[in-house]
């Protein structure tokens, strides 16, 4: 496995093995279905897996925390986070059926038991979660109204329930349109790799 993950996170033997399997399974699937940009698949560990795990630098959720990955695509950030947090339960949803099938197959092959999947639109998901996570799916002012119904009212973690997004570029316009408490973290304070120089994590308390 690319040791960039172990550079920042202490993994159990099971977690190490699961992370290693991702490095084989995603390229295999990508040859059949374009889950990740073909020019980007060689950067799987930094640009996709480590990027997803930025959320694990921001919070350490308690046992039983429920997390919805909205617009998961082939399983990011949900699958790396489910490996990192076996004590939490995850629900991954995406409108593109073939991508959900890839995520479902990979989760099964690496033995994840804390993940469920849904092929559909976020409007079809009515369950409540402590956190909704998302990676560059849509603008914040569009995303927040869609997922507000999915945030559980009672918080069980050190930070209140809400949305955690991984984004890049100038976010000032988006942040100005979200009339809720927000926090922005630069990912180059988490990780040394140049990829993260323009990347940010946005937390919205809901």
Residues in the chain: 206
Sign of CA dihedral 57, 197, 78, 109: negative
pLDDT in tens, the chain (206 residues): 568 999 999 999 999 999 999 999 999 999 998 888 888 899 999 999 999 999 999 999 999 999 999 999 999 999 999 999 999 999 999 999 999 999 999 999 999 999 999 999 999 999 999 999 999 789 999 999 999 999 999 999 999 999 999 999 889 899 999 999 999 999 999 999 999 999 999 999 99
Kindly report, residue by residue over 107-120, the tens digit of the pLDDT. Answer: 999 999 999 999 99
Helical H segments across 59-96, by residue range: 78-84
Count of CB atoms situated within 10 Å of the CB of 118: 17
Q: Check residue 35 and give its pLDDT.
A: 87
Structure tokens at 147: 């997922």
What is residue 2's predicted lDDT score, i.e. its pLDDT? 60
Question: pTM of this prediction?
Answer: 0.96
Strand order in the sheet with 199-205: 115-119, 89-94, 66-70, 131-135, 162-168, 199-205, 182-186
Look at residue 36 in the predicted model and tell me its pLDDT. Answer: 87
User: In angstroms, how far is CA 101 from the centroid of its own chain?
Assistant: 17
Between CA 119 and CA 101 the distance in angstroms is 9
pLDDT of residue 137: 81
Using CA atoms, how far residue 134 sits from 75, 109, 149, in Å, is 11, 23, 16
């Amino acid at each position: 496995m690319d040791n960039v993950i172990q550079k920042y996170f202490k993994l159990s033997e099971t977690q190490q093995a699961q992370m290693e399997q991702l490095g084989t399974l995603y390229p295999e699937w990508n040859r059949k279905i374009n889950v990740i940009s073909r020019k980007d698949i060689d950067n799987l560990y930094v640009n996709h897996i480590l990027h997803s795990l930025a959320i694990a630098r921001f919070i350490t959720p308690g046992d039983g925390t429920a997390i919805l990955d909205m617009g998961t695509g082939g399983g990011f950030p949900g699958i790396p986070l489910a490996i990192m947090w076996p004590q939490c339960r995850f629900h991954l949803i995406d409108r593109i059926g073939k991508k959900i099938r890839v995520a479902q197959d990979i989760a099964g092959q690496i033995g994840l038991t804390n993940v469920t999947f849904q092929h559909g639109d976020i409007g079809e998901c009515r369950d409540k979660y402590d956190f909704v996570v998302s990676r560059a799916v849509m603008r914040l002012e569009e995303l927040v109204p869609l997922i507000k119904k999915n945030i559980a009212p009672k918080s069980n973690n050190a930070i209140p329930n809400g949305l955690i997004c991984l984004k890049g570029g100038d976010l000032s316009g988006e942040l100005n349109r979200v009339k809720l408490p927000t926090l922005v973290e630069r990912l180059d304070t988490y990780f040394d790799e140049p990829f993260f120089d323009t990347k940010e994590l946005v937390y919205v308390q809901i």
